[in-house]
Structure 1
Amino acid sequence: MAPVSEEAVTRGQRTHPLTAVVQGALFATAAAVGLVSTILNGDGWGNLGPALSLLVAVVGGLALGMLAGYVSWRFTRYVIDGTELRIDSGVLTKSSRRIPYERIQSVDTAEPLVARILGLAELRIEMAGGKNSRTSLKFLRLDDAQALRRILLSRAHGEAVSEAPDEQRSIITKVAPERVVIGTLLSLDFLFAAVGSAALIVSAIWFGGILVALGGIIPMATWLAQIVAQRVLQQWDFTLSRGERGLRIERGLLSRTSQTIPYDRVQGIAIKEPFVWRRFGWQRLEVDVAGYASSSDEQENGGASSILLPIADRALAAAVIAELMPRASVDVPRTHAPRRSWPFAPIGWRFRWIGADEVSFVAHEGWVQQVTSIVPHPRTQSVELRQGPLQRLRRVATIEVHTPKGPVNADGRSLDQADARAMMLSQLDRARAARR
């Protein structure tokens, strides 16, 4: 179908009628998963038996979900006028959410599996601010979602609405699915989960304590499934591209997401190097983006707002960092943790250091998984110096450079107290100078 025109959108529109079907499928899936979880916890199938109980859960969840989805669809409209996006919803209690264009940070699309099958997509609108900063429209035709995305971004940047399909983008890299799989298989948490599950199964068969071992096998298997889902299925066919407004990430095997990282909203980058990966020179990049909903929303979407690059060699990782933080480097003058800080990290103290140059503050820690956090000086919100009783006894202190909640933790733990205080004062000066 032809893209939705701006004139059609301004009249006020409902989302797609098949929204009810998608919501019903999601409810049915949640009901089935909840029932299986209840059974695995030892509560039994009840009087209906396994097959009938599962059927009732799926059919009941589908019916309730479709009913709730229809009611939500029937009473929800979105309107675009000259100054804002307005979303009206509610049956008994009416609500009208108004989003001024200047507060829009990014507009992304997501295609959950059922919606993707039906050719639908969810539009996710991220605004400035932390709590309740995400608004979504569920669900639109994919073409309509992309057209509406262009309109909102054009209005947010004060530009005329373009009739072009999308801004011109150039591919930075595509991460091959097999590399994502190999990286997952070589991660220590996957190895622990796999070996632990296998050991429990062998023990159960060898000693005959199958029922007892199930209590350990189920959590281990769940952990294993979560690792595979978040690192393989969600990062499948990962594509990173650049455009005028920022980097775009497209990924997912079953559910597909398209996420934009605006250049001016990046608050920090974390470079993570798991133990086995370091032997191959591989890294994972995660990013803090101002305005993105975090915590529960991020967990729900598999860390959609934090993974910048799931696996890459050092050269590619450095090139991507340079895209978002020109001139930023980890090769800065360093202040290392002293030997007397070993009670706080008997092995890890050797890998703790902080440093800064004229561009950014850098903190490094970890020995099983090494993490290097980079924070541009203008993004420093505040700096804190902490010193507990044992730290005072050992004459060490911890410096924290505060950034928005996310994967970047730029902390220098248990440093020499004089070095920590000097770095705190100098970092405050750098941040003030950079903001000016």
Structure 2
Amino acid sequence: MAPDSDVAAPEATGLRTHPLTAVVQGALWAAAATAGLISSLVTGDGWGELSPLVSLLVALGGGLVLGLLLGFVTWRFTRYVIDGTELRINSGVLTKSSRRIPYERIQSVDIAQPLVARLLGLAELRVEMAGGKDSRTSLRFLRVADAHELRRVLLSRAHGDGTTTPDEHRAVFTVVPPERVILGTILSLDFLVAAVGSVVLVVTMIWFGQIVVLLGGVLPLASWLAQIVARRVVQQWDFTLSRGERGLRIERGLLSRTSQTIPFARVQGIAVREPFVWRRLGWQRLEVDVAGYADRETEQDDSSSSILLPIADRVLAAAVIEMLIPGVRTEDLVRTRAPRRSWPFAPVGWRNRWIAADRTAFIAHEGWIERRTSIVPHSKTQSVELRQGPLQRRLRVATVEVHTPKGPVDADGRHLDERDARAALVAQLERARASRT
């Protein structure tokens, strides 16, 4: 049921999510049970005397039945209400809970479609609020049209419009072709290491006949390879970046589709990564610190929400950076470089360590095999710290750290001359103070 302009009165009992939520939940539980069984069989733990096929069927059927029951109970006792001041989600069977989300605290509203939900035309609504790791609230599952309509309602009221106006006009900024994502993944150094290592172990295993001994090395490499492909190809498939008045929207995914909103005001910094092979082709990957996302990534072991652009040439990457941090420059700046005497900390990479700043942002650069440039707007600087260990004191070097919310951005000037580091600390504090006032 789609919300209208006056969705529900405060005293209303509320709306239910889609009844097929139980089916999606059952499929997710069955998949989790099957994955757990396969993992136990690979590690040598079985289910007693049952054959692998019977065990698989038992896990699949048991997970499906349990998931269906849990999904139905969850659906039956979950209702949501949209009134004039807040979104309220009531749930619970024995213990009742009511999650209240004032409109003014809503930062963004995302839409996710796991594979089974996508096949059934359903979607999960994820509401991001200002706060810490418990700031996400989800509604599982709604019809896709209802999810988009509810997102328009919530964003409209969050921004003070008070009406369910149509979604803001968005212009597609860029679409990353799947073949480019695949090529970039194949040419990444970690993929090449995992692929070559797996092939070498398989050939060695066949040649010497030591299957059991070498299987322990093949499986971790194969698992690493699968994770790389899933994270960089499957999750970033058909990556589309569009822009609206209030922020960017990212749509991506081959099997499960995700629509993620990045409000301009929540961007805390940008990291530019240049893997070894990519540098020769002029390619870069952009990652972004978004306030509130990092804690959930740590819990779920998923960094996909930090990807701002999976692969791009330097011109496109510079255009996206300019869109989020207007006026920033990474070239033609006065750079403070790490001195030669800091080589014990990075025998080769010390040459690539430097920091710089313009009127807009603080910039830190490092890396030899993979170069990383971290860009932090002065207004997003939380604190600045000078760190100097015993060996650093002996070599007269120090590290200056510009603190931002936890995420891919790491704006540290490592092992600089101690006088340069102290001067950079004082200067960055002044820039941060001035940008806020």
Which TM-score applies when normalising by structure 2? 0.97
3-state secondary structure, aligned to 2:16: coil
Q: How far apart in 1 are the matches of 2:417 and 2:44?
A: 53
Q: Which of 26, 29, 32 is the matching residue for 1:27?
A: 29
1:154 matched to which residue of 2? 156
Q: CA deviation at 1:44?
A: 3.5
1:354 matched to which residue of 2? 355
Residue 264 of structure 2 aligns with an amino acid whose one-letter code is Y
Query: Which region of structure 1 is more displaced relative to structure 2, 71-80 or 419-428?
Result: 71-80
Q: How far apart in 1 are the matches of 2:98 and 2:164?
A: 28
3-state secondary structure, aligned to 2:163: coil
For 1:253-283, what per-residue CA distance to the aligned partner results, in whole angstroms no more than 9, with x for missing partners?
0000001111111110000000000000000
Q: How far apart in 1 are the matches of 2:8 and 2:319?
A: 40
3-state secondary structure, aligned to 2:44: helix
1:4 matched to which residue of 2? 3
Percent of pairs identical after alignment?
A: 70
Q: CA deviation at 1:9?
A: 4.6
Residue 359 of structure 2 aligns with an amino acid whose one-letter code is E
For 1:182-207, what per-residue CA distance to the aligned partner results, in whole angstroms no more than 9, with x for missing partners?
00000000001100110110010011
2:63 matched to which residue of 1? 61
Q: CA deviation at 1:161?
A: 2.1
Map residues 421-432 of structure 1 onto 2, 5 A cutoff.
Answer: 421-432=422-433
Q: How far apart in 2 are the matches of 1:300 and 1:233?
A: 17
Name stretches of at least 5 consecutive residues in structure 2 with no aligned partner.
Answer: none
3-state secondary structure, aligned to 1:25: helix
2:90 matched to which residue of 1? 88
2:73 matched to which residue of 1? 71
1:412 matched to which residue of 2? 413
2:189 matched to which residue of 1? 188
Q: How far apart in 1 are the matches of 2:164 and 2:81?
A: 19
Residue 273 of structure 1 aligns with an amino acid whose one-letter code is E
3-state secondary structure, aligned to 1:343: helix
3-state secondary structure, aligned to 2:31: helix
Map residues 246-325 of structure 1 onto 2, 5 A cutoff.
Answer: 246-292=247-293, 294-297=294-297, 300=300, 302-325=302-325
- Asked if the contact 2:289–2:405 (Cα under 8 Å) also holds between the matched residues in 1, the reply is yes
2:134 matched to which residue of 1? 132
Name stretches of at least 5 consecutive residues in structure 1 with no aligned partner.
Answer: none
- Asked if the contact 1:150–1:161 (Cα under 8 Å) also holds between the matched residues in 2, the reply is no
Query: Which region of structure 1 is more displaced relative to structure 2, 85-94 or 223-232?
Result: 85-94
Q: How far apart in 1 are the matches of 2:320 and 2:299?
A: 24
Residue 435 of structure 2 aligns with an amino acid whose one-letter code is A
- Asked if the contact 1:233–1:254 (Cα under 8 Å) also holds between the matched residues in 2, the reply is yes
- Asked if the contact 2:271–2:408 (Cα under 8 Å) also holds between the matched residues in 1, the reply is yes
2:178 matched to which residue of 1? 177
2:109 matched to which residue of 1? 107
3-state secondary structure, aligned to 2:330: coil
- Asked if the contact 2:7–2:82 (Cα under 8 Å) also holds between the matched residues in 1, the reply is no
3-state secondary structure, aligned to 1:43: coil
- Asked if the contact 1:379–1:431 (Cα under 8 Å) also holds between the matched residues in 2, the reply is yes
For 1:68-114, what per-residue CA distance to the aligned partner results, in whole angstroms no more than 9, with x for missing partners?
11111111111111111111111111111111111110001000000
Residue 46 of structure 1 aligns with an amino acid whose one-letter code is G
Residue 24 of structure 1 aligns with an amino acid whose one-letter code is G
Residue 306 of structure 1 aligns with an amino acid whose one-letter code is S
3-state secondary structure, aligned to 1:236: coil
For 1:36-92, what per-residue CA distance to the aligned partner results, in whole angstroms no more than 9, with x for missing partners?
001111124531101110000000001111111111111111111111111111111
- Asked if the contact 2:4–2:164 (Cα under 8 Å) also holds between the matched residues in 1, the reply is no
Map residues 204-223 of structure 1 onto 2, 5 A cutoff.
Answer: 204-223=205-224
Structure 1 residues 45 and 202: CA distance shift in structure 2, 3 A: farther
For 1:304-328, what per-residue CA distance to the aligned partner results, in whole angstroms no more than 9, with x for missing partners?
3210000000000000011111001
Residue 323 of structure 2 aligns with an amino acid whose one-letter code is E
3-state secondary structure, aligned to 2:431: helix
3-state secondary structure, aligned to 2:43: helix
Q: CA deviation at 1:346?
A: 0.8
- Asked if the contact 1:180–1:310 (Cα under 8 Å) also holds between the matched residues in 2, the reply is yes
Aligned residues: 433
- The alignment's C-alpha RMSD in Å is 1.3
Q: How far apart in 1 are the matches of 2:298 and 2:234?
A: 16
Q: CA deviation at 1:303?
A: 2.2
Structure 1 residues 118 and 131: CA distance shift in structure 2, 3 A: same
3-state secondary structure, aligned to 1:279: helix
- Asked if the contact 2:398–2:418 (Cα under 8 Å) also holds between the matched residues in 1, the reply is yes
Q: How far apart in 1 are the matches of 2:165 and 2:359?
A: 42
- Asked if the contact 1:105–1:291 (Cα under 8 Å) also holds between the matched residues in 2, the reply is no
Q: How far apart in 1 are the matches of 2:309 and 2:124?
A: 23
Q: How far apart in 1 are the matches of 2:74 and 2:2?
A: 24
Q: CA deviation at 1:163?
A: 4.5
- Asked if the contact 1:27–1:62 (Cα under 8 Å) also holds between the matched residues in 2, the reply is yes
- Asked if the contact 1:268–1:376 (Cα under 8 Å) also holds between the matched residues in 2, the reply is yes
Q: CA deviation at 1:378?
A: 0.3
Q: CA deviation at 1:148?
A: 0.5
Residue 320 of structure 2 aligns with an amino acid whose one-letter code is V
Residue 315 of structure 1 aligns with an amino acid whose one-letter code is V
